[in-house]
Amino acid sequence: MSYVEVPLTRLALVALLVAIAALVSRRARLDLEGSIAWAAVRGAVQLLAVGYALRLLFAYEHVLSLALALSVMTLVAAWTAARRVEHAPDRRALFWPALAAITAGGVVSLVPVFALVITPTPWYSGRYVIPIAGMMLSNAMNVVALTLERIFASARAEAPRIEQLLALGASPEQALHAQERAALRAAMTPTLNGLFTVGLVALPGMMTGQIVSGIDPKSAVRYQLVVLFQLVAVAAVAGWVAATLSRRMLFTSREQLRPF
């Protein structure tokens, strides 16, 4: 099976789809035409730049270049997750908890897989590590942002109830348990829904890409299962770490709820 190349001339035709979205926005008076155009241009430029960067990375593979790429990806993911949280008592201090949570989720999901399941040669092969790490870090970023935002928003809305539980002798962990549980369940729901419906509603991106490139569907399924199970682990670990660290931001050393 041969790979079907997409030339730039045909790729330009896809821009018509963006134009259709802009027309719909204009017809429905959504005022999103500028955002749609800017997002399309920015996304195209970013992907083209990443494409050239990956060519260099794959051509000159080295442990240091891989470590640099993973570090940049993790830092950007943490910065983005922290920016999405609006109800935190101190948004400036969110970067480090987000970084810790995303890093923990990435380590737990990536290290065992590349040590025991997918064992490329050399082990620091960017062709394998970068795409899979990108999926893990992206999922961790979304889970961390959702967890932090949900916990801080519910803590603000239910501050009287939390303070009442503290007054009755509950620990910060006990007083915030309901909010943490609801936040983690909400943050993990998209990942679980994807696992429940995989193959029934849509073929996941990695599996689709491998099949299009000519890989045997059975091999593509195995890779996709690895990724799906990784996504569950990264969501659980990153969300749990984010929830734990958010609790430390919400309460003082005297176990009092911080005003915000």
Q: What is the pLDDT of residues 172-205, one digit of tens each?
A: 999 999 999 999 999 999 999 988 888 777 777 7
Instruction: Name which residue leads in pLDDT, 204 or 20.
Output: 20
Distances from the Cα of 26 to the Cα of 17, 35, 38, 39, 41, angstroms: 14, 12, 15, 16, 18
Q: Does residue 192 fall inside a structural domain?
A: yes
Instruction: Name which residue leads in pLDDT, 215 or 148.
Output: 148
Could you tell me if 108 and 46 lie in one domain? no
Domain of 17, in residue numbers: 1-60
Could you tell me if 52 and 128 lie in one domain? no
Instruction: Please give the pLDDT value at position 252.
Output: 87
Res 78 pLDDT > 80: yes
Could you tell me if 178 and 213 lie in one domain? yes
Q: Does residue 126 fall inside a structural domain?
A: yes
Could you tell me if 53 and 68 lie in one domain? no
Final residue in a domain of this structure, among 60, 79, 98: 60
Could you tell me if 101 and 28 lie in one domain? no
Could you tell me if 114 and 12 lie in one domain? no
Q: Does residue 258 fall inside a structural domain?
A: no
pLDDT category at 2 given cuts 50, 70, 90 is low
User: Residues 204-257: pLDDT tens digits?
Assistant: 777 878 887 778 888 888 988 999 999 999 999 999 999 999 998 999 888 888
pLDDT category at 92 given cuts 50, 70, 90 is confident
Contact between 164 and 103 under an 8 Å Cβ cutoff? The reply is no
Q: Does residue 26 fall inside a structural domain?
A: yes
Instruction: Kindly give the interhelix angle for 177-197 and 217-250, rounded to the nearest 10 degrees.
Output: 170
Backbone angles phi, psi at 105, to 5 degrees: -65, -40
Could you tell me if 14 and 93 lie in one domain? no
Could you tell me if 95 and 126 lie in one domain? yes
Mean pLDDT, residues 46-64 taken together: 88
Could you tell me if 191 and 178 lie in one domain? yes
Could you tell me if 75 and 196 lie in one domain? yes
Q: Does residue 24 fall inside a structural domain?
A: yes
User: Residues 117-129: pLDDT tens digits?
Assistant: 999 888 889 889 9
> How many residues does this entry show for the chain?
260
Give the burial string for 86-124 (b: 16+ CB within 10 Å, else e).
Answer: ebbbeeeebeebbbbbbbbbbebbbeebbeeebeeeeeb
Could you tell me if 97 and 19 lie in one domain? no
Instruction: Please give the pLDDT value at position 187.
Output: 93
Mean pLDDT, residues 21-32 taken together: 94
Range name among 12-16, 44-48, 122-126, 256-260 with the lowest pLDDT average:
256-260
Final residue in a domain of this structure, among 40, 60, 80: 60
Final residue in a domain of this structure, among 45, 60, 75: 60
Could you tell me if 56 and 73 lie in one domain? no
Q: Does residue 259 fall inside a structural domain?
A: no
Instruction: Please give the pLDDT value at position 1.
Output: 52
145: tokens are: 């942002």
Mean pLDDT, residues 42-65 taken together: 89
How many domains, in total, are found in the chain?
A: 2
Instruction: Please give the pLDDT value at position 31.
Output: 94
Mean pLDDT, residues 102-106 taken together: 97
